[in-house]
Copies of this chain bind each other. A is one copy, B any other.
């Protein structure tokens, strides 16, 4: 009886990383290790798809079970990620052919691509081109984005932890400014991520448990910014509470659609690089109203803040990684595991699936009924949706006062192709 040699797998991280993307990696690798005999080696692209294209692969089989387990509590992208979007097949077929060439050279039959909507598009195309080239490859997307803007899934792994970071930070900074307001700072502005969708800014609303609690104003990309209405709301809050806490999404635009903070530069996906709306808003407030202000820009701290990760988020990140491998073994292709909510209170969820073609390049914004009528806050419906996603803590182990995070050996797989590839 002839025994089939199992195909190898390639796992790659893509786009902005998160506090729990490595938990998905852990789910993929641990599940694949349990399926020995059906899946061969698990390789990882060093810096995601860039490693795949340049044949720079890491053999995860050379990492100890303890190191792989530690990925579950390690933020960032342990294998390196990339902001590198493949062109359309029409424009640059060579890229896709190169990918298939690398897959063929390393006997890769499974491609697990862990990223946002751009990445789901890429995974979908790779699946199609493989068939066309006579090298069928199973492509499974694994959802990841702190922006929570993927369609067809109730939420995105990575979001819950960043959301928890934002809610906790808002609550803490609010206690600070409340202490100082009598003689000093009256307005505090926290800038959070969210280029097009206000999910993270909305999550700041979870800091409030009672009427009057901070944040007093949330500025969302979904609501065009009107200076006078905003300033009136700040003044009202200062008069009523003695201070005002503002949480602003980096993606806020004015009524003519211009970002309040244009950095001028664009990233490789052609998106404008944002950052700096926090100080713009704070300065505007002081100029108009005269209140002393402080501002913070959380930037990477919010999406790397594994020390304050949401337990629910960690569990879901692991679960989608695990499900990706199970889907592949079940013969599915060109799909992405999703989070399906069964109920909000008590919170119950399960894993579902969506075709990559449906997820690719779509974007889910905050629905209008999640935003209060005045545009400055979140509704009870939004709170019911968001609340379970930040539930529970999942503390990493500590060493000398700081979290002990995984350090990979990251040993390379021997190259088999003679042809170099230029990005």
Contacts and interface: CB of A to CB of B under 8 A. Distances in A.
Given A173-B301, A175-B76, A393-B395, A82 B182 contact: yes
A74 interface: yes
Given A75-B175, A275-B279, A300 B296 contact: yes
A405 to B, nearest CB: 7
A179 B80 contact: yes
Interface string A243-275: 000000000000000000000110110000111
A75 B175 CA distance: 7
Contacts of A294: 275, 299-300
A184 B390 contact: no
Q: How many chain copies does the complex carry?
A: 2
A113 to B, nearest CB: 15
Contacts of A179: 13, 17, 47, 76-78, 80-81
The interface size bin for chain A is 35 or more
A168 interface: yes
A176 B304 contact: yes
A276 interface: yes
B304 A50 contact: no
Interface stretch (A147-155, A331-339, A396-404, A413-421): A396-404
B298 A296 contact: yes
A183 interface: yes
26 contacts: A13-B179, A47-B179, A83-B180, A84-B183, A168-B402, A169-B301, A172-B300, A173-B299, A176-B304, A184-B267, A209-B400, A264-B268, A274-B279, A274-B282, A275-B276, A275-B283, A294-B299, A294-B300, A296-B297, A296-B298, A298-B301, A301-B301, A387-B400, A390-B401, A393-B395, A395-B395
Interface of A: 13, 16-17, 19, 46-47, 50, 74-78, 80-84, 164, 167-169, 171-184, 188, 190, 206-207, 209, 264-265, 267-268, 273-276, 278-280, 282-283, 292, 294-301, 303-308, 310, 387, 390-393, 395, 398-403, 405
CB-based closest 3 A-B pairs: A76-B175, A77-B179, A275-B279
